[in-house]
Each structure stands twice: as structure tokens, then as C-alpha cells.
């Protein structure tokens, strides 16, 4: 971290934390280092870097100066011990599970996790012997009851996508800690500006950097942050602490030097650079996203064509009180509307002129999507029901355009329902 940035406000830290001008040139922007490999001074030096007894870069699948700078900045924003960046958010989630669990082990996941995460857990990893059970992430006691001796990870989202449920992270963390199980929080919808899950006791923070972190929708990436709250010495993670490593670095070392090295889903330096370009404006973008979403939610909640509008900032949302406390009076920028039927949902989307029908969120643009026919289509009917994805549901990721223009366009769509 650059000198003196620890106590600065988060808005300042997105710009300055872990960033100093280049010592050689004084450049105030991160340099893109597109080198695949890095020359060592001697055979002994390269041996030492391979052995981990000396620092240094080897090969960009294992680490790259541009990517490492992005990792340091994300770790600083989450107040974590360190971070590993990956080619996508899904690569971050899969590497995390594979670092902690093996065949015969079990993951406990919130029943409303993102459909890609659900597919990874219930299909791909299940075929490889890692089982997943789901629990209501808002019920910490249910989490405690579901943990058993083969549980290796509890995974929830800071705001569920697209159910928009909000778990009590401190309560979940207390349960996980009492059982010695790691708690990972996918903070893609929150961002470190809404909440730092590590402050609430999460052990690992995951991001799809493809969304708000970059904000410009021009690159896919992910990041895994070790919150620094666990020393990984618990018996469930013996495989991490074999050898002479200090326990507190065991997760990150295993992740970088074995799991990510072997799986190969590294972030490219060009994309790391694009992530950092976006990161600099994260604070101002999020302020606008949050205020626009609150404005739209309040205006449309009582619209006659809207059966139900879900937004954690509305008092009717079941997690409103918790969200208010946990997120300090901000509520994220996603909302969902139920429009009575699948046909109504399609007519609404087709009636929009400004808001884009896109399979993405967290862009500067307002984006809408019908989850049941798109990113949730592979889920079974039961899984969709459990994830809160009804046939008449439309997800809106409220952008940073002028709020009146967003509202006007959404009202234009609603006229078609
Ligand atoms: C998009 C998303 C992911 C997956 O990230 P990619 O970068 O698209 O791989 C994971 N979790 C959440 C909550 C997401 O919204």
C-alpha cells in the first residue's frame, strides 16, 4: 500500500491505495507489462524463485506485474491480506472451491447464488466428487445445522443475484468460525464501497471484476481476496498448511502456486490494466448507481403494471432493516420487477429504447434481462423457484445515466405490458 493511504476514505483509496507513480518514469498510470516470461539473473536465482525462497516473476500464468498491481489494489480496497486475480469471476469461484475442497468434501452455498455458480457447484464440481448443499443464506442457524465434518466452504453473495436477498454476514461468520469452516462472500453486487465482507468476518471475498469493478463493460476478470481473518490452521485445511509455509499465507500460496497455476485461468495484463482504469472511478459511479436505483425503485414500486418490485432499499423488502444496518443506508443498484406473465416481461423489454437487453450488470448503461429465459434457463424448475426466478421476473441493473431518462424509458416499457 502506498504510504499513508490506510486511513483514507474508501473514495480516495480506490484512486491511491497500493499505487505509487512508477519510480523510473514517474508515470501516474499503471504500466502494461505484456511479457509472457521474465529473465532471471542466474540459474541460482531462477531456482530460488521457483522454490519460493526468493520473490520475482517467472511466467505470466503465475504472476505478472500489471496483474499483481490490480491484485494489490483490490486487496487494499477489501482491507485483505492479499489477492489473486483470475480470467473471470467464475474462474475465481472455481479456483476457490478447488483450493479448499476435494472429492468427498462438501460446499454449503446460499440457495440464491448466481446461476453460473450454481451450475458450477451442482453439475461440474458434483461430477468431480465435490457435493454442494444449499441453505437459506438469511438463516445463519440453518447454516450451522448443515455444517458437518466434510464441509470445506460456505459460499454466499453479499446481495443475491437476482433474488436480491441479503444475508447477515456477521451472523454467518460467527457460525462458520465456531465450526472452523471458511466463509466466502461473492461481493460482485456489493463492491468494497457498499460493504467490506472481511469487516464482518468473511474469510474470502470474491469478485466478478467484469461488472462494477471495471464498470465500462470492456473486459472479463475476477479476483479472490484473502480477508486476513483466518490463519488456515484449522484441521479442515490441513492440505493447505503442509510444509513450512506460515499458516496465514497458506490459502493464497496454495491458490497461486498450485491451483491457479494448474488450472491456468490467469488474468491477462491488458485486462488487468482495463480493470484498473475502471477502478479509479468506482466511488463516483457507485454513488450514482445507488441513488439512481433508489429513485427508480421508489417511483416504480406503486406503478399499476408492476406486480412486485424488489429492492433492498424499500421498506417492504424482507431484508430492508438488515440492509440498512449492514450497508450504511445504501442498497446496491439492482432491482427486479414482476410483470404478471412471461409475455408481459418480454413486451416490457421490447418496449424499451434506452435500456439495453444485455446479459450483464454493473455497466454504466441501464441493463435489463429476463433471467428465466436466459442465464437461468439451464436451472431446473425447482432450482429456479428456489432462486426466486419466476417467469414474469425482469432484472434491472440501474446505470449512471440521468435518472429521469432511465425512469422515462422504463415507464415507456411498462406501457407495453
Ligand atoms: C457475473 C457474476 C459472476 C460470474 O462472473 P464472470 O466474470 O462473468 O465470470 C459471479 N458472481 C456474480 C454474483 C455475478 O454477478
pLDDT in tens, 251-281: 999 999 999 999 999 999 999 999 999 999 9
CA–CA distance, 101 with 110 (Å, rounded to integer): 17
Atom of ligand 1 nearest to the CA of 361: 15
**Is the link from the previous residue into 312 a cis peptide, with omega within 30 of 0?**
no
> Residues of the chain with pLDDT > 90: what percent?
86
312 Cβ inside 6 Å of ligand 1: no
Cβ proximity of 224 and 206 under 8 Å = yes
220 Cβ inside 6 Å of ligand 1: yes
> What confidence score (pLDDT) does residue 185 get?
98
> What confidence score (pLDDT) does residue 20 get?
83
64 Cβ inside 6 Å of ligand 1: no
CA–CA distance, 41 with 25 (Å, rounded to integer): 23
Q: How far is the CA of 220 from the centre of ligand 1 (A)?
A: 9
pLDDT higher than threshold 90 for residue 6? no
What is the DSSP track for 144-206? HHH--TTEEEEEEESS-TTT-----HHHHHHHHHHHT-EEEEE-TTTHHHH--GGGGT-SEEE
Atom of ligand 1 nearest to the CA of 113: 13
- CB neighbours of 24 closer than 8 A, spacing ≥ 6? none
Arithmetic mean of pLDDT, 90-113: 97
Strand partners, 205: 185, 225
Question: Cell triple for residue 114?
Answer: 448466481
What's the mean pLDDT when you consider all of the chain? Answer: 94
Ligand 1 probe mutation, 114, 118, 212, 360, most atoms within 8 A of CB: 114
CA–CA distance, 233 with 215 (Å, rounded to integer): 37
Ligand 1 probe mutation, 185, 208, 210, most atoms within 8 A of CB: 208
pLDDT higher than threshold 90 for residue 129? yes
Question: Cell triple for residue 349?
Answer: 423489454
Cβ proximity of 239 and 98 under 8 Å = no
Tell me how crowded residue 67 is: count the other CB atoms within 10 A of its CB: 26
> What confidence score (pLDDT) does residue 394 get?
98
CA–CA distance, 342 with 348 (Å, rounded to integer): 10
Residue 108 per-residue DSSP state? E
Ligand 1 probe mutation, 85, 87, 89, most atoms within 8 A of CB: 89
- Residue 3: phi and psi, rounded to 5, are -55, 135
Cβ proximity of 151 and 170 under 8 Å = no
Arithmetic mean of pLDDT, 349-354: 98
Beta pairing class for 334-338 and 308-310: antiparallel
Cβ proximity of 30 and 235 under 8 Å = no
Question: Cell triple for residue 397?
Answer: 441493473
Q: How confident is the model at residue 1 (pLDDT cuts 50, 70, 90)?
A: very low
Query: What does pTM read for this prediction?
Result: 0.96
pLDDT higher than threshold 80 for residue 345? yes
pLDDT higher than threshold 50 for residue 336? yes
Amino acid at each position: 500500500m502506498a504510504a499513508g493511504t490506510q486511513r483514507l476514505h474508501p473514495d480516495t483509496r480506490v484512486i491511491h491505495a497500493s499505487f505509487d507513480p512508477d519510480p523510473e518514469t514517474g508515470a501516474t498510470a499503471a504500466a502494461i507489462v505484456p511479457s509472457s516470461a521474465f529473465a532471471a539473473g542466474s540459474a541460482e536465482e531462477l531456482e530460488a524463485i521457483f522454490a519460493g525462497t526468493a520473490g520475482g516473476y517467472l511466467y505470466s500464468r503465475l504472476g505478472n506485474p500489471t496483474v499483481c498491481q490490480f491484485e494489490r489494489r483490490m486487496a487494499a480496497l477489501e482491507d485483505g491480506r492479499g489477492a489473486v486475480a483470475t480470467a473471470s469471476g467464475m474462474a475465481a469461484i472455481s479456483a476457490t472451491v478447488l483450493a479448499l475442497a476435494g472429492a468427498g468434501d462438501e460446499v454449503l452455498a446460499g440457495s440464491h447464488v448466481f446461476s453460473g455458480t450454481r451450475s458450477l457447484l451442482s453439475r461440474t464440481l458434483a461430477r468431480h466428487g465435490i457435493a454442494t448443499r444449499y441453505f437459506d443464506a438469511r438463516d445463519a442457524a440453518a447454516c450451522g445445522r448443515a455444517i458437518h465434518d466434510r464441509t470445506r466452504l460456505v459460499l454466499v453473495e453479499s446481495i443475491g443475484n437476482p433474488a436480491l436477498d441479503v444475508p447477515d454476514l456477521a451472523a454467518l461468520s460467527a457460525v462458520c468460525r465456531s465450526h472452523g469452516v471458511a466463509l466466502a462472500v461473492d461481493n460482485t453486487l456489493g463492491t468494497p464501497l457498499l460493504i467490506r465482507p472481511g469487516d464482518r468476518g468473511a474469510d474470502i471475498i470474491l469478485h466478478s471484476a467484469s461488472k462494477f469493478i471495471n464498470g465500462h463493460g470492456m473486459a472479463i476478470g475476477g479476483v479472490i481476496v484473502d480477508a486476513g481473518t483466518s490463519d488456515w490452521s484449522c484441521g479442515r485445511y490441513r492440505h493447505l498448511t503442509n510444509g513450512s509455509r506460515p499458516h496465514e499465507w497458506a490459502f493464497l500460496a496454495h491458490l497461486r502456486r498450485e491451483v491457479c497455476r494448474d488450472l491456468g485461468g490467469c488474468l491477462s495484463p491488458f485486462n488487468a490494466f482495463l480493470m484498473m482504469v475502471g477502478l479509479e472511478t468506482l466511488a463516483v459511479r457507485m454513488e450514482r448507481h445507488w441513488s439512481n436505483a433508489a429513485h427508480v425503485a421508489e417511483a416504480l414500486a406503486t406503478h399499476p403494471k408492476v406486480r412486485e418490485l424488489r429492492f433492498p432499499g424499500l421498506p417492504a423488502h424482507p431484508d430492508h432493516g438488515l440492509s440498512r444496518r449492514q450497508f450504511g443506508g445504501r442498497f446496491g443498484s439492482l432491482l427486479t420487477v414482476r410483470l404478471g406473465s412471461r409475455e408481459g416481461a418480454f413486451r416490457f423489454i421490447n418496449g424499451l429504447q434506452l435500456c439495453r437487453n444485455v446479459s450483464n450488470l454493473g455497466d454504466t448503461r441501464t441493463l435489463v434481462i429476463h433471467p428465466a429465459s436466459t442465464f437461468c434457463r439451464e436451472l431446473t424448475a425447482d432450482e429456479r423457484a428456489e432462486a426466486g426466478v419466476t417467469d414474469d421476473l425482469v432484472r434491472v441493473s440501474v446505470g449512471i445515466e440521468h435518472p429521469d431518462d432511465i425512469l422515462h424509458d422504463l415507464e415507456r416499457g411498462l406501457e407495453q405490458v
